[in-house]
Chain A
Amino acid sequence: MQCRDFREISEAYLSDELLVETNLQVFRHMENCRNCRSDFAARRALRKKIRSAVVESPEFVMSNAFERNLAAKLRESAVAKSGWRGFFAMPRILVPTLAALLIAVVASFVTYQYPFTGTTSEFATIGTGLTGYLTEVSFKAIGNHKDCALEKMEKWESGNLPVSEDGMAMADKVIGPLRASFLDDVEILHSHDCIYEGRRFSHVIVRRGGRTLSVFFDRSSESRHLAAEEGVKDSIICNKENGMQVASFRVNGYGVFVISDMPESENLEIARSLSDSMSV
């Protein structure tokens, strides 16, 4: 090591920032170089002098009164902090709370767009995927109701069309709860399978008090997949479009959609009775 090298790293050596190997080189150089040894001693002395001058100077010493006063204020602030001011000063709590609030606002907006009628505990069992599925298929079911049930009403009213065994079984699932709800004032017009916009439904058409009601069962693999929680009663999702009410729910492997032009409460009542009887 040359004297020039030593001067370059002597400050780092003074601050104890060098590697052990380099420290050793510096030490060896100083052993053999009187000038550098002397220079380093002066630098070290200056460092000591700077520290002692500042630390021991009364000018840089905090007053006891200020220290005590500040300590008391800090303690009071830390221990007695409460209320909204304290709450907002705690980012660890504030940030998750604001995040939860934001989620709640978004959820409220979605619920407003797609009204939810179940109880709070029921809502908790529904995932976003299922809610989205029921909402999406609801609008297809409304289209199918118009296209299949209402447009072809004469065809169903004739009563001349045969009903398959599957259709009969499906109609049986529907007629019991409906009669329980509306006494005997219900009539099954027809039960069949139909396809609307690429989705296959089992369709039961019901007449009650001069009004036509459709109950659709989605038989697609998507609904079966979503029905993995067998026997669990989910909430009923309500939607409406062009004066048609649809109440949808999932039960035992099916997405079920009840559609009519009845008031929402009545349509929902039918869906509830179906949901209750089918999930047993």
Chain B
Amino acid sequence: MFRGSLFVGKEEKWADFEAEAMPHMNSLFRNAMWLTQDRDLAEDLVQDTMFEAIRSFHRYELGTNCKAWLTRIMHNLNSKRIYKLGRMRVVDDPEDKLAETIPFEPSIPETLTDEEVITAIRKVPDPFRDVILLADVEEFSYKDIAFVLGVPIGTVMSRLYRGRRVLRQELTEYARNYGFGTEGRQIAG
């Protein structure tokens, strides 16, 4: 039976949704936590995303990248949420400003805990942090990140390059402040 047809059974539709979308809920929650910085808000955002996804599931093509599709819905919903709160900020050219603040390629500290890495990630400005998380944590391709964020692939590459540089800078600063060595190239993993 053609699943995209008008009269797909409800059970069948749910089975498809369960198989395709439900396994990505943890990933969505991680993203939501970064986007909202609050567990309750993150849960609301995940819930809104999943309900929106199930309503729009007829638009999703089975077998394509469901995780990217869900993440895109979540980012769109979050943008609406922020817009309603009146917290949407327009920055003139954050990438150039950031580039000016990082004059060199920082090395990477040797010994850092997970908490320290997370603290450093939090300090990375939103647009760069989003790309780093989508690329490094969720392991999306550049193409998928461009789809999720609705930006050109070139912007993804640029933000990722600069974002990782900012992150290394943050990690180096953190290590320096707490007296860790920064000469080593290998970090604890």
Contacts and interface: CB of A to CB of B under 8 A. Distances in A.
B51 A77 contact: yes
B68 interface: no
Interface string B118-143: 10010000000000110111010110
A230 B89 CA distance: 71
Interface in B65-103: none
Given A15-B141, A46-B164, A46-B167, A78 B17 contact: yes
Size band of the B side of the interface?
35 or more
Given A52-B114, A60-B29, A66-B43, A46 B54 contact: no
Interface in A1-53: 7, 11-12, 15, 17, 38-39, 41-43, 45-53
A91 B6 CA distance: 10
A77 B186 contact: no
A49 B30 contact: no
A183 interface: no
A59 interface: yes
A66 B10 CA distance: 24
Given A42-B108, A60-B33, A92-B58, A51 B50 contact: no
Interface centre among A51, A57, A60, A89 (most CB of B within 10 A): A60
A15 B142 contact: yes
Interface residues of A, dominant DSSP: helix
Nearest to B135: A15
Contact of A53 (B6, B29, B118): B118
A93 interface: yes
Given A45-B186, A60-B34, A67-B26, 20 more contacts: A12-B142, A12-B157, A15-B160, A42-B108, A46-B108, A46-B167, A50-B121, A51-B137, A52-B189, A53-B115, A55-B137, A57-B115, A61-B26, A70-B25, A70-B50, A74-B51, A75-B14, A77-B54, A78-B10, A90-B58
7 contacts: A46-B187, A51-B136, A53-B114, A54-B137, A66-B46, A70-B25, A78-B13
Interface of A: 7, 11-12, 15, 17, 38-39, 41-43, 45-57, 59-62, 66-67, 70-71, 73-75, 77-81, 89-93, 96
Interface of B: 6, 10-11, 13-14, 17-18, 22, 25-26, 29-30, 33-34, 43, 46-47, 50-51, 54-55, 58, 105, 107-108, 112, 114-115, 117-118, 121, 132-133, 135-137, 139, 141-142, 157, 160-161, 164, 167-168, 171, 185-189
